[in-house]
Structure 1
Amino acid sequence: MKLSQPSEKVISYWVGTNSVNKLEYALTHGNYKTRQLAAEALEFVGRPSSIPVLLIAIDDKIKNVSIAALNTLEHLQDSDELIKSIVRKRFDWLKRLREKEEKQKNKRAKKHNIYRWERASKKSFEMVKERLKRPIR
């Protein structure tokens, strides 16, 4: 069974009508773009009952979905210490990920000086060729 994916307009309509159940379903079963939009929309209309779905979404394979769910969790967190610690650890993970990407970008931009060393055999071969060109005495 193929499900149709809701568009941005549909998701914004769900936000306007406070259809939290539909947004949670889209976050669970949608494609990556739908999951990201649903996670961002739950930030505005989400309830504490949305937290379990968001906790599952922060382990998503797509980084943007995970980040959107993390931002929504940060916004929805109550005084629950477990969620605060999870959000803190995930933000540390995100910070390390961004630092790693920045480091790789800087590494690619860096030019390396590569020196070509002459091989001894090539040098001796060139020397023998030069000697053969000289007349014999």
Structure 2
Amino acid sequence: MNIIQPSESTIVFWMDIKDVPKLEYALKHGNYNTRKLAAEALAHAGQCSSVPVLLKAMNDKVQNVSIAALNTLEALGCNDDLVVTITRKRFNWVKEVRDRAAKQEANKDKKHNIYRWERASKKSFEIVKERLKRPIR
């Protein structure tokens, strides 16, 4: 079976007419860009019936799709305690990932001074070098 990837304009059209089954299908079977757009479109459709599909998309391998699904779950605002708890925990995970990336970006050009060379092995190496310079008797 050949799966046809819907374009962005098609997904926007489905969002406008609130065709939730087609958007859910695109979220399940599309490429990463289609899945991200479908998750964002489900937020505008605003039906809590798509929560199970969004929970599955929340564990997507592509981080942008996962974040879009989380944003959609938060935007839907379904009063299910499990969904609220899972969303809160995943948002903490996303915040940690973003903070780690920002810290790496900030430290990318920073030069680190390492002062570990004053160990005994370094001193003993210098002693051996000095002894090698002496003439043999």
Q: State the match for 1:47 in structure 2.
A: 47
The separation in 2 between residues aligned to 1:64 and 1:76, in whole angstroms, is: 18
Give the ranges of 4+ consecutive aligned residues of structure 1 lying more than 4 Å apart after TM superposition.
114-119, 123-126
For 2:108, what is the secondary structure of its paired residue? helix
Moved more, 85-94 or 35-44: 85-94
Number of paired residues? 130
Q: State the match for 1:91 in structure 2.
A: 91
**What amino acid sits opposite 1:20 in the alignment?**
V
**Aligned-pair CA distance for 1:110:** 2.1
Q: Matched residues, percent identical?
A: 52
Q: State the match for 1:134 in structure 2.
A: none
**Native 8 Å contact 1:20 1:46 kept in 2:** no
The aligned runs of 1:124-135 (5 Å cut-off) are 124-126=131-133, 128=134
**Aligned-pair CA distance for 1:23:** 0.3
Computing the radius of gyration from Cα coordinates, the structure with the larger value is 1
**Aligned-pair CA distance for 1:62:** 0.4
Q: State the match for 2:68 in structure 1.
A: 68
For 2:61, what is the secondary structure of its paired residue? coil
**Aligned-pair CA distance for 1:125:** 4.3
- Considering only aligned residues, what root-mean-square deviation do their CA atoms show, in Å? 2.2
**Aligned-pair CA distance for 1:17:** 1.6
**Aligned-pair CA distance for 1:40:** 0.5
**What amino acid sits opposite 2:61 in the alignment?**
K
The separation in 2 between residues aligned to 1:123 and 1:40, in whole angstroms, is: 69
When the two structures are superposed, what TM-score results if normalisation uses the length of structure 1?
0.82
Q: Deviations over 1:33-91 (max 9, x none)?
A: 10000000001013110000000000000000000000000011222222111111111
Cα–Cα, structure 1 residues 107 and 77, in superposed 2: closer, same or farther, change >3 Å? Answer: same
Q: Which runs of 5 or more structure 2 residues have no equivalent in the other structure?
A: none
Q: Deviations over 1:81-115 (max 9, x none)?
A: 22111111111111111122222223333202357
Q: State the match for 1:6 in structure 2.
A: 6
For 1:79, what is the secondary structure of its paired residue? coil
Q: Which runs of 5 or more structure 1 residues have no equivalent in the other structure?
A: 130-137
The separation in 2 between residues aligned to 1:98 and 1:68, in whole angstroms, is: 15
